[in-house]
Structure 1
Amino acid sequence: MAILQTSILYSLLLLQSAQNTVATRDDLRYVNPLIGSTNGGNVFAGASLPYGMAKPVADVGGQNTGGFSTDGSKVTGFSHMHDSGTGGNPSMGNFPLFPQYCEDNIVDNCKFPKSARAIHYKNDSVVAKPGYFALTLESGIKAEMTAERRTALYRFTFPRSRAADGSDLNPLILLDLTDLWDSRQNASISLDADSGRIKGNGTFLPSFGAGSYKSYFCADFVNAEVKDSGIWVNDRAGPVQDLFVTRGFNNFYLQGGGYMTFDRPHDGIVTVRVGVSYISTDQACKNAESEVPDSEDAFDDLRKNAENEWKQKLSPIKLTPGGVSDEMISSFWSGIYRTMLSPQDLTGENPLWKSDEPYFDSFYCLWDAFRAQHPFLTIIDPQAQSKMVRSLLDTFKHEGWLPDCRMSLCKGWTQGGSNADVVLADAYVKNLTGIDWELAYKAMVNDAENEPLEWSYEGRGGLQSWKRLNYVPYLDFDYIGFGTNSRSISRTLEYAYNDYGLAIVGKGLGKKDYTTYLSRSGNWQNLYKEDQKSLLENGTDTGFTGFFQPKYINGTWGYQDPIACSALASWCSLTSNPSETFESSIWEYIFFVPHDMAKLIEMVGGPQSFVSRLDYFHTSGLADMGNEPVFLTVYDYHYAGRPGLSASRAHTYIPSSFNATHNGLPGNDDSGAMGSFLAWSLMGLFPNPGQNVYLIIPPFFEAVAITHPETHKTATIRNVNFDKTYKNIFIQSAKLNGKPYTKSWIGHEFFTQGMTLELTLGDKESDWGTHKEDLPPSLSDSVAGYEGM
């Protein structure tokens, strides 16, 4: 009887908890696409559907990697396709429109080249919301935009303006045959004034990859009568209706495009519908015609549809804020929003091969996204994540290799290992459905066993040495394939983890050779130099011994300063300043052994030494929160039995480095990588990707509930003694479904089965989660791999 009463009481408590965990009022209003729109966040701030291909926004001449920035630079146009949060060259921004008046209605008085037409926008006029973007130029012209999947819709409002003779000026909208970084190789355009349509195409370069891609558009000008049309080249225009333009000679970039002028409508509004395609101009027109009807309400209907789609995508998550600031809530929802801007769903828009499988693009890049973004999509949108995995496998099927980076139909540069392997392993251990796992295993084995001719953009290089020496050597002799012969340390560490993921999938599928890859997953140990010291630039000893170091083919040690490539030294890129670690220091990479942290901790002197080293890393300026390899280091304290320090460390970066301001990101958002790190942290869980492990800290809210989109079960994380000033950030005890829970981590079944995790908080560290049996699993805990996987 007592057991029954206890069960009833617990059921009532769960019901009360579910009732208390309600959505914040109109979650979508908290999304601010302008977070990270300056200071190198490079976010896309414009209008888009989830995973949408059409992404209209204002393009500026300053920090324009994502098109728009709040850095105060001038607007050069409004274009229809972008990526979000990437580094390097600006991505896409093809075929921008630009509205203006021509003095005295003389077309040659208009300003056509980018630098000439660029104009400031009114700072207080910018409005950015999911599915909508607007601003007003200093000329008084207001530009609004919304989007469907493959169609951008613009609404330009022209204020009345008069010529010197008192007549009304006629609005002019030009279209420029260029992209954001002027990579166009050739392009063509044709105009039809009778129908108010401009069609064209161009060949461009990917912003971080090899080859080129062809893009097509179909622009329809509606709500206004076309008065005149023609082409422009450099700073002159004329009534010619077709143009083909090449790149130009040497540094002389030939500028050109088309234009249409209109009798100003009574309300001043000219609407432009732009269909985009990678297939053909006809396909671009079909996309526009099928997605956006020619009606007076089209713009408002499209905007409402976009809002509804975003609401649906955000709906699995509900908050009980507990009195925290609106800024913190905005950071949370905005981070989640950015995880679904890319990759982009280009199914039906892939001209490279025919397939019934989904096709996603803008994996930019998996080196960034595998750590937090794809695991996050796995819990809130598993159907989309499954399609992305299938797309990766279909790319392998037709091109022979899993991509590590991909954009604009092109192969992107590989930054480290073959990290699609981690994405596949993560999907496997979390039981994503609809995936051909035999094909997946074949693709992963291909990465591990076969070296491509060009491993700069697919597969792995140095595989002969990897298999023979059990590490990637410094100055490797690699005559089979070609790539940037650097990153020997970071590639060794990443290959080890890639092979661990392969072993886990292989074991699960009953493959006998999984033990080969399990053995190779320990190769990271071969570059650990136990007597290596680290000095600061002024010669001060950091006090720590034992770091990874490069090793020659003959087994002798090379040298790289452990602080090189850190925020205290110099930036190390892929080409301009290559080193033996990629975009991070040896100090940062010493913590990257995701599958065997227990062995690493033993090698550096035990838990206390490891914690001291982590503390020094995070407090000395060595940690670069603007780059993804640092993510797991915030939570590595869990593996040393100090989960409270992971919570404390997360609070040192949030909100100082991650907040709701325009410069509220510490670095490139990298297609939502930074946003997903923030969202995980605020929810109180963090994944170790490729493993069925989520590390637990207290959420930054009173409670968070996540309803799994497939099982429809709701998982809840609730804080007891929650303190909105964040004095109580240490877990004192925990209950899982009403029973005491001492482990500092939890598995994916928490989400799929809809469990309730209740955390009692205090203002001091406790012994919760600190005992050996409570630590997250490591490979060395079980020679055969993690139990239960």
Structure 2
Amino acid sequence: MPMHALAALALVIASPVLAACDPLQYVDPLIGSTNSGNVFPGASRPYGMAKAVADVDGQNTGGFATDGSNVTGFSAMHDSGTGGNPSLGNFPLFPQLCPGDELNACNFRIGDRKVGYRNDSVVARPGHFKVGLQNGIAAELTVADHTAVMRFEFPLGEGGDGTSQEHPLILLDLTDLWQSRQNATVAVDPETGRMKGNGTFLPSFGAGSYVLHYCVDFFGAKVFDSGVWVNSRAGNEPKELFVTRGFNLFYNEAGGFVRFQNLSDKSVTARVGVSFVSADQACRNAEIEVPDPIGSFSALVRSAEDAWREKLRPVSVAAGGADKSLLVSLYSGLYRAMMSPQNYTGENPYWDSGIPYFDSFYCIWDSFRVQHPLLTVIDPEAQSQMLASLLDIYKHEGWLPDCRMSLCKGWTQGGSNADVVLVDGFVKNFTTRIDWSLALEAIVNDAENEPLEWSYEGRGGLQSWKRLNYIPYLDYDPNGYGTNSRSISRTLEYAYDDFCLARLADGLGRKDLHAKYLARSANWQHLWRPDQKSLINGTDTGFTGFFQPKYLNGTWGYQDPIACSALADFCSLTTNPSETFEASIWQYQFIVPQSVSTLIDLLGGDEDFIRRLNFFHTSGLADISNEPVFLTVYLYHYAGRPALSTERIHTYVPASFNATNGGLPGNDDSGAMGSFLFFSMTGLFPVAGQNVYLISAPFFEEVRVKNPVTGKTATVRAKGFDPGYKNMYIQSATVDGQPWQKSWITHDLFTEGRTLELVLGDKESDWGTKLEDRPPSWTAGTRTV
């Protein structure tokens, strides 16, 4: 047989070749660094507390943006992909050369010192960030777990003796990105230049305040002079400063500074240690993690890169000719999903239970749907620690968090969504570290007991929920206090929370609780108004039946079904509060994951359901930039048309999700957007809180995921794959060689290392269309699977 024929035969017999490559080559931290993606593009380790980057005065929620704005400082603490106010960015350093080498000629205030950066100078890689400023100063940053290292290179001239006659200045600003500082301190050591202190700040999306401590040391130069500054003036004395918010809340800008001489290689290296416990601990963190900041800079970068490789290595892909940019989108999404929650072990000043402590669950309303299910697949060890940490917070604070950042309670956006995260782990057989009896107690507490302040924990309106079986419009709730809005979306979310609670109770043998909460999970139907119509610009959409708000007395209120959509005004907690949160009634009508079959019946059956889904996704009503829309892309499975789910995701990828700096449709929400993209590209979409993955055609010829705990490898293989995606329809499927007709599969695909092989073709088939092959849906009718 000729050699070329042998080669062809080998290709037929063998599975697709997965290139042995460095996954970091496909990671671009700048995806989402503009177009309001709000990603953190700087240096971090997986789940790391220290996150170093240049801060700008433009789209600075994540610190830096590629929007052409100005650099205002370099700081060591950030969150990634959050919305609302900029988060953290505390105690930024700012390097400069003062005109005439005069201290009083330096620019201290943010508005005076800001400077543009050169677009072609930006380098962002895992664990490493570089940028050149338009004034000639260059910065290079890397991190350890609680320490940032910042190397500043100055464009120094030389005197007659070969040394510079200029004395570069590095200031520390006692502020954060939001300028929320309430008070702060700095003390400058005149001999070494070490700066120590702390500040009290407000969380960017929550209640209370937090205290953060810092310790900054400088290397590679000698101290020329030092002191403190307030607003636009500085002096060499005193060496210590305490600053408050200011008279009548006028914001005083203030901090410390050091000027340098005898620079090595025209650069000064700053080592920034941070701690929520004390400045001394910040110093210890820095000294232990980075004893030699200059000599170990490259080693720190390599260590961060190795840590990221270890986290990304479980996923390997045979692209099958798919565009490289799709691989970049896939791995970059994985990368961002492991930015937060952040590992604050040893940095919780309130308690130490002797287990890993995670913070920055920012916010679970955004992350429970896809980000935590993704960590369950690719990093179950970390996800298990996060579940234990949620329960640890419950033990010490009395409530599961719904949102948390900087050790503060974040605002609750809808239901008690930590319930879903915990139950998702339970149904996927997480056993280590998790006290499931304690989890049941915590979730029952959410379901039964209303906190005084349900704006940042638990659920509000439970008196009405238990008596009326819905959250009323303009509820009377004397038992607790929160934003009295979102009656429709809270009703839907509470119903799903109760469904998840029922699943946990059933699994733990509590049949009484199972029956009670399963019945409550049907409460969403009480806000269904079968005769409600919807108009767009005065034209009837042709669809009847929508959720509507209902008063305490049972009479109907009204909210336009298109309100809060992309065709109307955005609705949030603070701007235009409405009866749905951050999405329209059109979008929320599909958010019944426990009972989609009942919803299909309410909407008139399979064909009417599909017609309504199609209209939703093609009329401008669907907001792909926000999490409630995610599952709607795949709801065609429940109507027996899984091929349409595959068609639908291809309308969003790569149009709204791509490998450009503006390649996210909106706020990344702590990795939620990247997690949605990962599952969509691999052809397995999770239904959070259920042991269900909806199967669709993948974007690559083969994807493998090695379980880091069991060591077994799950494989999704597409036979007949073509990179032009003409063959996007599943014709048949096998699991470990056996025929598989169901349009969904369970988590043991990953834990047991099964192989899902999909045969693709260019036309829709009858695979997965039969009633018995559809995803499970709880109902009293015959659709139950």
- TM band (smaller chain): over 0.9
| Matched residue, 1:137 | 133
Is the CA contact 1:472–1:492 (under 8 Å) kept in the aligned structure 2?
A: yes
Question: Post-superposition shift, 1:249?
Answer: 2.1
Cα distance change on mapping 1:724 and 1:29 into 2, 3 Å: same
8 Å contact from structure 1 (residues 206, 212) kept in 2:
yes
Once residues 228 and 105 of structure 1 are traced to their aligned partners in structure 2, the CA distance between those partners, rounded to angstroms, is 12
Contact 2:213 2:277 in 1 (8 A): yes
Counterpart in the other structure of 2:3 = none
Instruction: State how far apart, in whole Å, the 1-side matches of 2:164 and 2:712 are.
Output: 66
Q: TM-score, normalised by structure 1?
A: 0.96
Displacement of 1:162: 6.1
Q: Separation in 2 of the partners of 1:90 and 1:356?
A: 32
1:169 CA drift (Å): 1.3
Which string of whole-angstrom CA distances, capped at 9 and with x for unpartnered residues, describes residues 47-76 of structure 1?
000000000000000100000000000000
RMSD across aligned C-alpha pairs, in angstroms?
1.7
TM-fit CA distance, 1:264: 4.2
Aligned-pair identity (%): 65
CA distance in 2, matches of 1:786, 1:110: 72
Counterpart check, 1:646 vs 2:642:
no
Give the superposition deviation at 1:726: 1.2
- Greater displacement, 352-361 / 478-487: 352-361
Q: Which residue of 2 aligns with 1:527?
A: 527
Which position in structure 2 is the counterpart of 1:455? 454
Query: Residue 329 of structure 1 aligns with which residue?
Result: 327
Residue in structure 2 matched with residue 6 of structure 1 by the alignment = none
Matching residue's letter, 1:632: L
Distance across 2 between alignment mates of 1:602 and 1:654: 30
1:148 corresponds, among 144, 147, 172, to 144
- Counterpart code for 1:555: G
Please tell me the residue identity of whatever aligns with 1:80. Answer: A
Residue in 2 aligned with 1:9? Answer: none
Query: Which residue is 1:3 aligned to?
Result: none
Which residue identity is paired with 2:521? S
Q: What are the superposed Cα offsets for residues 539-592 of structure 1, whole Å, 9 maximum, x if unpaired? A: 100000110001111111111100000000111111221110000000000000
Secondary structure (helix, strand or coil) at the match of 2:481 reads coil
User: Which runs of no fewer than 5 residues in structure 1 stay unpaired?
Assistant: 1-11
Asked whether the equivalents of residues 187 and 245 of structure 1 are also in contact (C-alpha less than 8 Å), the reply is yes
Instruction: Indicate the larger mover: 370-379 or 512-521.
Output: 512-521
Once the two structures are superposed, what CA deviation does each residue of 1:698-748 show, in whole Å capped at 9, x if it has no partner?
A: 110110000111111111001111111111111111111111111110000
1:157 counterpart = 2:156: no
CA 1:223–1:266: 2 relative to 1, 3 Å: closer
The change in CA–CA distance for 1:370 and 1:295 in structure 2 (over 3 A counts) is closer
- Is this contact kept in 2: 1:79–1:94, CA < 8 A? yes
Q: Does 1:174 align with 2:175?
A: no
SS of residue in 2 equivalent to 1:134: strand
Q: Tell me the residue number matched to 1:509.
A: 508
Contact 2:219 2:294 in 1 (8 A): no
Q: What does residue 615 of structure 1 align with?
A: 614
Rate the CA distance shift 1:562–1:283 in 2: closer, same or farther, 3 A: same
Name the structure 2 match of 1:197.
194
SS of equivalent to 2:274: strand
Q: Secondary structure at the match of 2:184?
A: strand
1:318-467 paired onto structure 2 within 5 Å? 318-433=316-431, 434-467=433-466
How far off its partner does 1:352 sit?
A: 1.8
Inter-partner Cα distance in structure 2 for 1:478 and 1:781: 32
Corresponding residue number in structure 2 for 1:574: 573
Cα 1:410/1:202, change in 2 over 3 Å: same
The one-letter amino acid of 2:455's match is: S
- The CA distance in 2 between the partners of 1:742 and 1:777, in whole Å, is 14
Q: Say if 2:116 is the partner of 1:120.
A: yes
Give the aligned partner of residue 84 of structure 1: 80
- Report the Cα distance in structure 2 between the residues aligned to 1:13 and 1:350, rounded to whole angstroms: 55
Q: 1:25 Cα deviation (Å)?
A: 2.2
Q: Match of 2:244?
A: 246
Q: Residue 102 of structure 1 corresponds to which residue in structure 2?
A: 98
2:685 corresponding residue in structure 1: 686
Secondary structure, in 3 states, of the residue corresponding to 1:780? coil
After superposition, give the CA deviation of every residue in 1:176-222 in whole Å (9 maximum; x if it has no partner).
00000100000000011323311010000000000000000000101
Structure 2 counterparts to residues 736-755 of structure 1, below 5 A: 736-755=735-754
Report whether the alignment pairs 1:218 with 2:220. Answer: no
Q: Which amino acid aligns with 1:454?
A: E
**Partners of 1:261 and 1:575 in 2: CA distance:** 44
Aligned residues: 772
Q: Secondary structure of 1:62's partner? A: coil
Partner in structure 2 of residue 7 of structure 1: none
Whether 2:51 is the aligned partner of 1:55: answer yes
CA distance in structure 1 between the aligned counterparts of 2:498 and 2:468, rounded to whole angstroms: 15
Aligned-pair distance for 1:766?
A: 0.9
Deviation at 1:358, TM superposition (A): 2.2
Displacement of 1:663 in angstroms is: 0.6
**Counterparts of 2:75 and 2:159, CA distance in 1:** 29
Structure 1 counterpart SS, 2:722: coil
Q: Which moved more, 1:58-67 or 1:574-583?
A: 574-583
Q: 2:230, 2:253 within 8 Å by CA — same for their partners in 1?
A: yes
Task: Please state whether the residue corresponding to 1:670 is helix, strand or coil.
Answer: coil
Letter in 1 for 2:198: N
Whole-Å Cα distance in 2 between the matches of residues 517 and 494 of structure 1?
13
Distance 2:784 2:371 in 1: 23
* Cα deviation digits, residues 578-630 of structure 1 (max 9, x gap): 11000000000000000110111011100100000000000000000111000
1:14, distance to aligned residue in structure 2 (A): 12
User: Which residue does the alignment assign to 1:66?
Assistant: 62
The 8 Å contact of residues 372 and 687 in structure 1, kept in 2 or not, is answered as yes
Question: Which deviates more, 647-656 or 240-249?
Answer: 240-249
- Separation (CA, whole Å) in 2 of partners of 1:691 and 1:603: 23
User: Within 2, Cα distance between the matches of 1:729 and 1:228?
Assistant: 67
Q: Is the CA contact (8 Å cut-off) linking 1:105 and 1:163 kept in structure 2?
A: no
Instruction: Report the TM-score, using the length of structure 2 for normalisation.
Output: 0.97
CA contact (8 A) 2:78 2:89 kept: yes
